[in-house]
Structure 1
Amino acid sequence: MQVRSTTVVAVRHREMVAMAGDGQVTLGNVVVKHQARKIRRLYHGRVITGFAGATADAFTLFDKLEQQLEQYSGNLLRAAVELAKEWRTDRMLRRLEAMMVAVDAERSLLLSGNGDVIEPDDGILAIGSGGPYAHAAAKALVAHSGLDAPEICRAAMEIAGGLCIYTNDSIHLEVL
């Protein structure tokens, strides 16, 4: 059975950055959890991260990123690049099936096991099963509404939850 879960969206807009994740975890065609926490704070609360993929793999990556943030004094870009290099080259890590979004006061980054560290031009990132829906909704709301970053994240998640069967309305939101 394939575990399906996750929609995570991050929005940098109007001097704020917010990240939201849904709570649904699905095993095959059955919802097995409704209130999973897919986003968490790292490095003394100054970095927010979100994951899509296997939970154990995500926790491994959270720990690795936290170690890199400690080593590089909270420099998110440097820590992310080092994590991506290790993720791609380490024999155990390269088998991990996950993606991460990490944001701090200055940067929004997408990290993958392919060695990608991507900073979007528009400050919007989304990953997971409902990621494309949340991403499109966030882009439209940034361009055509007066909402701030947390409101856009929440609305984008609600829209994704209405379209994606692997996304629910149990939304966890963090703001920097």
Structure 2
Amino acid sequence: MSDDFPGWHGTTIIGVRKGGRVVVAGDGQVSLGQTVIKGTARKVRRLKPGGAEVVAGFAGSTADAFTLLERLEGKLEAHRGQLARACIELAKDWRTDKYLQKLEAMLIVTDGDALLIVTGAGDVLEPEHDVAAIGSGGNYALAAARGLMETDRDAEAVARAAMAIAADICVYTNGNLTVESIAGSGAQGD
């Protein structure tokens, strides 16, 4: 973040893959410095470019994230719904385009099969242990979810419990969740 940015702090977004489903959950708090500006923001979205279905969650500047989501939709259309290819092309543009380089956001994206983190540093990462988390409370949610993965809870229950723990610890995260779920192509009975 630039040094002149007025103390903006992030959010918490988590992606959990378990039992043939991927759940992406995000809190609703938007903070500026020590002030909560909004408590009901929707930071997890379902995208359907060109018939492909993708769930994306973002942490960072909202306007920057929407710019990235629009670009991702365009990449998905250009690459016929191939999520990994679209994310790699987005990351390349983000890293090399002078306008995009200034964007301050991160994404978690999934098509139900792949679970990816996309960053402005040019990274497209598939996390270990079927859990991805970003934002100011991301490490708290990640640790909680990793601990819950061995239980009999499903992906949504793991994500919700991990987000509740993050909201109890991180002052920039609240318990007002947006949760989206998507089945993988190999999932049965969904």
TM-score bracket, shorter-length normalisation: over 0.9
1:84 aligns with 2:91: yes
Q: CA deviation at 1:8?
A: 0.2
Q: Distance in 1 between matches of 2:145 and 2:124?
A: 21
Length-normalised TM-score, structure 1: 0.97
Q: CA deviation at 1:45?
A: 6.6
Between the aligned residues of both structures, percent identity stands at 50
Q: In structure 1, what is the equivalent of residue 110 of structure 2? A: 103
The change in CA–CA distance for 1:158 and 1:45 in structure 2 (over 3 A counts) is: farther
Partner secondary structure for residue 136 of structure 1: helix
Structure 2 residue runs without a partner (length 5+)? 1-5, 183-190
Q: In structure 2, what is the equivalent of residue 24 of structure 1? A: 29
RMSD: 1.0
Q: In structure 1, what is the equivalent of residue 66 of structure 2? A: 59
Q: Distance in 2 between matches of 1:101 and 1:141?
A: 20
Q: Distance in 2 between matches of 1:100 and 1:5?
A: 12
Q: CA deviation at 1:54?
A: 0.7
Structure 1 residue runs without a partner (length 5+)? none
Instruction: Kindly provide the CA deviation profile for residues 66-102 of structure 1, in whole angstroms up to 9, marking residues without a partner as x.
Output: 0000111110000000000000000100111111110
Q: CA deviation at 1:48?
A: 0.5
Partner secondary structure for residue 91 of structure 1: coil
Q: In structure 1, what is the equivalent of residue 17 of structure 2? A: 12
Q: Distance in 1 between matches of 2:118 and 2:130?
A: 15
Higher mean C-alpha deviation, range 7-16 or range 36-45? 36-45
Of residues 167, 177, 183, the one that matches 1:171 is 177
Q: Which one-letter code corresponds to 1:153 in the other structure?
A: A
Partner secondary structure for residue 122 of structure 1: helix
1:46 aligns with 2:36: no
Q: Distance in 1 between matches of 2:55 and 2:7?
A: 27
Length-normalised TM-score, structure 2: 0.90
The change in CA–CA distance for 1:170 and 1:45 in structure 2 (over 3 A counts) is: farther
Instruction: Kindly provide the CA deviation profile for residues 46-68 of structure 1, in whole angstroms up to 9, marking residues without a partner as x.
Output: 11001111111000000000000
Partner secondary structure for residue 167 of structure 2: helix
Q: CA deviation at 1:15?
A: 1.1
Q: Distance in 1 between matches of 2:33 and 2:117?
A: 27
Q: Distance in 2 between matches of 1:132 and 1:47?
A: 24
Q: In structure 1, what is the equivalent of residue 158 of structure 2? A: 152
Higher mean C-alpha deviation, range 88-97 or range 41-50? 41-50
Aligned structure 1 segments of 4 or more residues deviating by more than 4 angstroms: none
Q: Which one-letter code corresponds to 2:175 in the other structure?
A: D
Q: CA deviation at 1:121?
A: 2.5
Matched-pair contact (CA < 8 Å) for 2:13–2:135? yes
Q: Distance in 1 between matches of 2:126 and 2:104?
A: 21
Q: How many residues align?
A: 175
